[in-house]
Amino acid sequence: MNTVPPRRPSGAASTACRLAGEITRRVAAGHDVVALGGGCFANRWLAERLPPLLERAGLRVLTAWDVLPPGDGGLSLGQAWVAALALERGDAERR
């Protein structure tokens, strides 16, 4: 994973953990899986600390940093995957 030098934002990992846990509980009630991605995970300090915190909070953490970049490259692949799944299920129109 290519990353920017680590920074130590005060409480960032624990705050992100609380937010991810709360979002998972509200949006995906009954699920215990959270997928992490996006440019903030180019920050190695956050990328190394958040997954263990989430796992200790009882969540299964999915990442793809070993094969995809944490920024726009990985995000666009995720968007394409969701669109393909919606088309396969008939939830979207082909244009």
How confident is the model over 27-51, as pLDDT tens digits? Answer: 666 778 878 877 888 888 888 888 8
Residue 40 near residue 46 (C-beta atoms within 8 A)? yes
pLDDT the model gives residue 7: 53
pLDDT the model gives residue 27: 65
Length of the chain: 95
CA dihedral 12, 16, 18, 22 (to 10 degrees): 160
pLDDT the model gives residue 94: 62
pTM: 0.58
Residue 13 near residue 48 (C-beta atoms within 8 A)? no
Alpha helices for 1-95 (secondary structure H):
12-27, 44-56, 72-89
Q: Rounded to an integer, what distance in angstroms lies between the CA atom of residue 82 and that of residue 29? A: 20
The residues of the chain scoring below 50 in pLDDT are: 9
pLDDT the model gives residue 56: 84
